[in-house]
Amino acid sequence: MICMRRGASPGAAARQPKSPALFLSGFLLALPLLALGDSQQTPTIGVWPTLRPHFYGTRSISEEGDALMNVEAPGSTPDPSATPVTIHFGEGLAATLKQVRVIIDNNPSPLVATFDMSPTLPVDQIDLRVRIDRFTSVRAIAETTDGHLEMRSTWVNASGGCSTPPSASSGGTLGEIRFRPSAGGKVLQVSIRHPNNSGFQIDPRTGDAIAPHFISHITLRAGEKTVLAADTGISISENPTLRIAARTPLPAPLTVEATDVPTQARYTATWNP
Amino acid sequence: MQNATQWGVLLLPLLAALDVATGATAGDNAATFGVDQTAPGIFVHIGKPVALDAPGHDDIANIGFVTGKRCIAVIDTGGSVKIGRELRAAIRQHSSLPVCYVITTHGHVDHVLGNAAFKDDGAHFVGHAMLPDALMRSRDLFLRDYAEDLDAPATPAQIIGPDETVPIGNEMTLDLGGRTLTLRAWPKAHTDSDLTVYDSQTHTLWTGDLLFIRRTPVLDGSVKGWLAAIDSLARMDARHVIPGHGPPTDKPAEALEPERRYLQLLLTAVHAQIARGDSLQQALREPDPPEKANWLLWDEAHRHNVARVYQELEWE
């Protein structure tokens, strides 16, 4: 009927969050057990404690206040192969953003994307679609131009990236770029037709892993000026989709350029409303 | 006979619900596993309307068998090797003929994991041409998340795909001796490996999961393909229909209507969301429509369907 299930392992009941607070206490209590547990079935503590010093050293990171910033994703993903993640930035943050990182703790490749922002394009919302491999925290860390760090996260329950078949729109012209503007030009969705193969998928005919082939870099340019640049990885879903929203109409024309690995092919298109 | 069948259909879900209410586990299936003869030589075990993470989750699909003069064809084997064995035992209570075919209607866990129970019977395993792909794609997931539904230790060899396949859009006939089954492989609809089985002798159509009755339909293929398949199914000369989930029916046109209405509603709603510029996140946030009241286990399926339809339509 459906391959996905919420709570796949026998210990599932213990990790079904009833409320964030309740869940957190259960999670902490379970830690010694988790360390010994089967890594295939038990949510591990995640890679954040390892990545934090690597990216941010010992700098303090604020985590207070939903109005300033928040991360939204379905608590239980309806499609593990394409889970929407939305990062909202409040007025106080949008204009001063320098960089935004998105991390999925328990994915095989936790670093989803790194966005370099520009004051020319004060974005107050970024939408992505990601693969969620298993029950995990999804977090975004924003760095402002004056070096301040803000982090917000949310929990997503998922199972296995599922066996959902390639979407009905799989295939098409590799690298075709579609623009879907809305809200009077203040919102723009950019979609790139690309399998974004992670290297973890199995070729059904041979049983071998499919070689990684994914979009590694996306830039948005207004004229000669780069207004947003993103390094992206294999946690981004098939047909990578980036949606940005601002308080004022986006600059136009806007040129998108995407690069994939390992072919280094470049795909480009210009939105000129 | 007709009345008895209808009572059986009504009672089984109630018994299943009782199982859950009393905390019974899959271990109690032996006492309750039963098959109904819905037409001469057509035997169906009705799956329980419980969630995929609830006790009894390995017994949610309709499975069964068809007897000819020479041999027997099994149609789907349930969501665990144990359920497959229950089915095999039920077959032995009705007939000593050999099982010559095990037909899999698609690659979802609740229909296929019982195949291993028939691996030593010398039967041919038959499925859609895309079924091997679907099973390979799901292999690691089945071994990881459904290990308890296989024999320990869970091994890839227990996930048994077809040795004979039906190409997309084609038909294949299987001779059971005095009875011929017609298998049809559908283009992408519920999944990308949907197969139906038609018995011309009793005009019985096994739809697999191309038809959900009462349980919320789950979309893993193409909403447009599924709606087209429903139109084709409605034109078939079927007097008895065995859906993938829900009670068998003798009124196929009526039984297909709620599913058609739901999928059409889904298609129209998501199309409108994309047209007005809603993101996938916004589409998933949309409140449930009143249609929810007509279906069981809505929360398990509906938002998944919205996500799949959104991705299907956005590149048109």
Q: Is the pLDDT confidence value at A37 over 50?
A: no
Question: Mean pLDDT across the stretch B152-173?
Answer: 97
Radius of gyration of chain B (CA): 19
Say whether A1 and B61 touch across the interface (CB within 8 A): yes
Residue B69 Cα, gap to closest chain A Cα (Å)? 32
Check residue A167 and give its pLDDT.
64
Most confident of A41-50, A107-116, B31-40, B139-148: A107-116
Q: Is the pLDDT confidence value at B189 over 60?
A: yes
pLDDT confidence tier of residue B7, bands split at 50, 70 and 90: very low
What the block records as the tokens of B285 is: 């946030």
Q: How far is CA B303 from CA A82, A269, B284, B287, B292, in A?
A: 12, 32, 6, 10, 12
Cis peptide before A262 (omega within 30 of 0): yes
Question: Which of A 188-247 lie inside 8 A of B, CB atoms?
Answer: 189, 191, 193, 202-205, 207, 239, 241, 243
- DSSP run (H or E) holding B240: strand B240-245
What the block records as the tokens of A4 is: 């996905």
Question: Nearest 10 degrees: CA dihedral of A21, A26, A27, A29?
Answer: 130
Which domains are seen in chain B, by residue range? 26-313 (3.60.15.30)
Q: Judge whether B244 and B207 are in contact, CB under 8 Å.
A: yes
Q: Which of A6, A168, A207 sits opposite B136 (nearest CB)?
A: A207
What the block records as the tokens of B288 is: 């449930």
Q: How confident is the model over A138-164, as pLDDT tens digits?
A: 999 999 999 999 999 999 998 643 355
Say whether A204 and B132 touch across the interface (CB within 8 A): yes
**B184 contact A CB<8A:** no
Q: Judge whether A100 and A84 are in contact, CB under 8 Å.
A: no
Cα B149 from Cα A8, distance rounded (Å): 12
Say whether A79 and B307 touch across the interface (CB within 8 A): yes
In a domain, A101, yes or no: yes
Contacts of B57 in chain A (CB under 8 A): 5
Residue B126's Cα: distance from chain center in Å?
A: 15
Number of domains in chain A: 1
Q: How confident is the model over A53-76, as pLDDT tens digits?
A: 999 999 999 999 999 999 999 999
Check residue A32 and give its pLDDT.
30
Q: Name the residue range of residue A177's domain.
A: 3-8+43-271
Contacts of A87 in chain B (CB under 8 A): none
pLDDT confidence tier of residue B8, bands split at 50, 70 and 90: very low
Q: Is the pLDDT confidence value at A39 over 90?
A: no
pLDDT confidence tier of residue B83, bands split at 50, 70 and 90: very high
Q: How confident is the model over A238-261, as pLDDT tens digits?
A: 999 999 999 999 999 999 999 999
Question: Mean pLDDT across the stretch B6-24?
Answer: 37
Say whether B218 and A1 touch across the interface (CB within 8 A): yes
Q: How confident is the model over B232-291, as pLDDT tens digits?
A: 999 999 999 999 999 999 999 999 999 999 999 999 999 999 999 999 999 999 999 999
**A10 contact B CB<8A:** yes
Residue B70 Cα, gap to closest chain A Cα (Å)? 32
User: What CATH number is given to the structural domain containing A257?
Assistant: 2.60.40.2470
Say whether B148 and A10 touch across the interface (CB within 8 A): yes
Q: Judge whether B79 and B110 are in contact, CB under 8 Å.
A: yes
In a domain, A60, yes or no: yes
Say whether A189 and B110 touch across the interface (CB within 8 A): no
In a domain, A232, yes or no: yes
B223-235 vs B252-275: helix axis angle to the nearest 10?
A: 160
Check residue B84 and give its pLDDT.
98
Chain B residue closest in CA terms to A187: B277
Q: Which of A78, A180, A205 sits opposite B307 (nearest CB)?
A: A78
In a domain, A251, yes or no: yes
Q: Report the mean per-residue pLDDT for chain B.
A: 90
Check residue A30 and give its pLDDT.
30
**A165 contact B CB<8A:** yes
Q: Judge whether B197 and B240 are in contact, CB under 8 Å.
A: no
In a domain, A28, yes or no: no
In a domain, A23, yes or no: no
The strand pairing partners of A181, in sequence order, are A188
Check residue A203 and give its pLDDT.
76
CB pairs under 8 A between A and B: 144
pLDDT confidence tier of residue A201, bands split at 50, 70 and 90: confident
In a domain, A192, yes or no: yes
What the block records as the tokens of B259 is: 């599913």
Q: Which one is predicted more confidently, A6 or A218?
A: A218
Q: Is the pLDDT confidence value at A133 over 50?
A: yes
Contacts of B109 in chain A (CB under 8 A): 1, 3
Q: How confident is the model over B286-311, as pLDDT tens digits?
A: 999 999 999 999 998 999 999 999 99
What the block records as the tokens of A114 is: 């790194």
- Give every strand in the sheet of B195-199, ordered side by side: B171-175, B180-185, B195-199, B204-212, B240-245
Cα B175 from Cα B180, distance rounded (Å): 5
- Give every strand in the sheet of A187-192, ordered side by side: A69-72, A83-89, A123-130, A241-246, A187-192, A177-182
Q: Judge whether B209 and B247 are in contact, CB under 8 Å.
A: no
Say whether B280 and A129 touch across the interface (CB within 8 A): yes
Check residue B14 and give its pLDDT.
38
Question: Mean pLDDT across the stretch B95-124?
Answer: 97
Chain B residue closest in CA terms to A177: B315
In a domain, A255, yes or no: yes
Strand, helix or coil for residue A137: strand
Q: Is the pLDDT confidence value at B21 over 80?
A: no
Question: Mean pLDDT across the stretch A37-49?
Answer: 57
Cα A17 from Cα B285, distance rounded (Å): 20
Q: How far is CA A135 from CA A148, B2, B22, in A?
A: 29, 48, 30
